[in-house]
Structure 1
């Protein structure tokens, strides 16, 4: 750890709180945080929980192989909270406070994308390799399983159920029973996002689905209707929109001559494009809300060279903060408050933004 690394320069102070050497390529899919805990996969077969502010190790436990997914959830009441580790053919639940194993179940190979819906875990359906399967979060007891392998985009917990879909068919299922609660028929097929999300919740009654080459549509829960949201004049990336800080952020697929891919800032109420982000290099990771730190700036993004940019709501760059020395970035994640996690080629950095 190094609490005194001067990683960012002016015009705004962004202080590196700690750096963790991962001894492998970083992966945002195996980084998860909840409350004061940051859980990260490192050293091939280790899962480590770090203190959010200090980077101190809370626990360090072994796993069998490189996990596909790491998911955390706070306890619904007084309790320890949970960490789910999805390996190739096994799903394990650890206690968040100390990393002790709670339960572990075997699964068919190539199972991934677990989601926690209340007291239930639903996993499976990636590329149509495995059935959808549900377990009780508290003890891993099986609840239900589809009779055949199912194909679905990465499921999303929304509307009192779990949203799954493939092609033009989208369903909301009850996590406890697997029964269908609602169904929508899309005008175009869901985009093939592989292990990335295709759905974005933007309200209790509204969820966006990324479909076709250039479109997003709105799923209405109460009415069961599908409504147009955005039809762009160029191809969009094969990934879901983000909903952060009251703005919908949509990735474009086109690559400029300098290698940059832009993101659109879109008004959630009407799908109108209000701006476009272009930092002259590919953006990596999330758009992270950082309200109140700098006048006019409400969001942070990072380019793959490690340049951190602060944006206004319309996507205009307010500040650029360059790393010194330059460090490649693979992803940006929010850790809550003014803290950011930057995943690098072999490191995890926690950065605090201060005005």
Structure 2
């Protein structure tokens, strides 16, 4: 086994923050900690860059270009300047909306467990936008995925991909107007975690997800939906990874690697007793996490390339772009460097 994973730093959060209270990009890392602080950290060193006071550390954090959004569990949506940490605006009265998706200049909230229908907020100043009935189905939804549509002619459109947890269909909605841009039937509803993403964008631009419990599907606005793989066992509600024509699927007792081009299949069974809890794409393959703290990297031909065991249980993984991966669990935020597995 090649050693291609190392721990760079770890930071105590002084409380078990929610995995949704973390947002990572290639040059920024946001986390809510110490019950009432939102901090920006340097991804490579963990050094704090700024902090702001918020109501709690169990909300939802999102990075949208030069802004950072945080929706606290008590229902206040904050917007901060990503560079300086300056508070730009705050909008209260949004308890139990939970999901936060930014598409263009519109923030989309609501749909979690069906407590509140979708609503839109202006990213510029935090004001609520007039809604369209077609934009607010009033049912439990999968976390909406922002998309930037690029038609062959005409202006580009900012949209979100929607799916109900009980109805077998995908819907694409224009976030600026609330108008429906398209709908596609599915064999079964999208399989999703209660407070996590169900979709993952593959390296070829297709969006992959699980329909029902065993059908791996892909969606692209230009081509619609297609079945990529039919599994013989139930899959956990984790988005599949599609990389260079290869599917990497987390399972309860193994990781399955499927070559969609040549038809090969490999199962990695040397896993810890913990349950599958998260996965992220890394250069040349994927990193899989188990709830007991076990982390493994698997390349696109199904070889286990590295293994690290963290001292605390794992609640979530977050790609920092390139070789960095952040993990949160039991009051600690830890950053790993994963070397390329191209060879």
**Normalization by structure 1: what TM-score?**
0.80
- Answering whether residue 92 of structure 2 is matched by residue 101 of structure 1, we say no
Structure 2: distance between partners of 1:52 and 1:330: 19
> Which of the residues 26, 34, 57 maps onto 1:66?
57
Name the counterpart of 1:162: 160
Structure 1 residue 58: Cα displacement: 0.7
Structure 2: distance between partners of 1:36 and 1:59: 14
- Answering whether residue 130 of structure 2 is matched by residue 141 of structure 1, we say no
Name the counterpart of 2:234: 235
* Cα distance change on mapping 1:329 and 1:218 into 2, 3 Å: closer
- After superposition, residues 28-67 of structure 1 pair within 5 angstroms as 28-67=19-58
* Cα distance change on mapping 1:319 and 1:20 into 2, 3 Å: closer
Structure 2: distance between partners of 1:306 and 1:128: 32
Cα displacement string for residues 52-72 of structure 1 (whole angstroms, at most 9, x for unaligned residues): 222211111111123331111
Structure 1 residue 150: Cα displacement: 4.0
Structure 1 residue 13: Cα displacement: 6.8
- After superposition, residues 83-98 of structure 1 pair within 5 angstroms as 83-88=68-73, 89-98=75-84
Structure 1 residue 305: Cα displacement: 4.0
Query: Secondary structure of 1:329's partner?
Result: coil
Structure 2: distance between partners of 1:19 and 1:92: 26
* Cα distance change on mapping 1:17 and 1:186 into 2, 3 Å: closer
Structure 1 residue 191: Cα displacement: 2.7
* Cα distance change on mapping 1:177 and 1:107 into 2, 3 Å: farther
Query: Secondary structure of 1:216's partner?
Result: strand
Contact 1:109 1:130 in 2 (8 A): no
Contact 2:191 2:210 in 1 (8 A): yes
Unmatched runs of 5 consecutive residues or more in structure 2: 150-158
Query: Secondary structure of 1:250's partner?
Result: strand
Q: Let me know the Cα RMSD of the aligned residues.
A: 2.8
**Normalization by structure 2: what TM-score?**
0.82
Count, aligned residues: 323
Query: Secondary structure of 2:300's partner?
Result: coil
Structure 1 residue 168: Cα displacement: 1.4
Contact 2:18 2:58 in 1 (8 A): no
Structure 2: distance between partners of 1:251 and 1:322: 18
- Answering whether residue 3 of structure 2 is matched by residue 12 of structure 1, we say yes
> Which of the residues 64, 80, 100 maps onto 1:114?
100
Contact 1:306 1:327 in 2 (8 A): yes
Unmatched runs of 5 consecutive residues or more in structure 1: 1-9, 75-80, 255-260, 292-297
Structure 1: distance between partners of 2:45 and 2:220: 43
Structure 1 residue 165: Cα displacement: 1.4
